[in-house]
Amino acid sequence: MEVTREVYLEWHQSRRRERYQVEKKQAHGVCSLEALGENALSVLPGSYWENTPEENAAKLICMEKVQQSISRLQEQDACLVRMLF
């Protein structure tokens, strides 16, 4: 598939950033919420789920928004937020 030079460079740069982040996590033993995957919700305290379904849905939406926001941070800042969370 042919793409413009700008598209290729952006793709290549994103791959380099991704490899750098993976290597950094491996070197420093960082544990992230993303690494927990589906099990992330199981670590929440039981009282978290003792609300109405609407409240639980709102909390899940908020958690997704927080995770999206964290993913837009620079890796060092994102790591700090994850550790504090």
Residues with Cβ within 8 Å of residue 36, at least 6 apart in sequence: 43
| Cα–Cα–Cα angle for 65, 12, 29, rounded to 5 degrees | 55
Tell me if the pTM is above 0.75.
no
pLDDT in tens, the chain (85 residues): 788 888 888 888 888 888 888 888 777 766 555 555 555 555 555 555 566 777 778 888 888 888 888 889 888 888 888 887 6
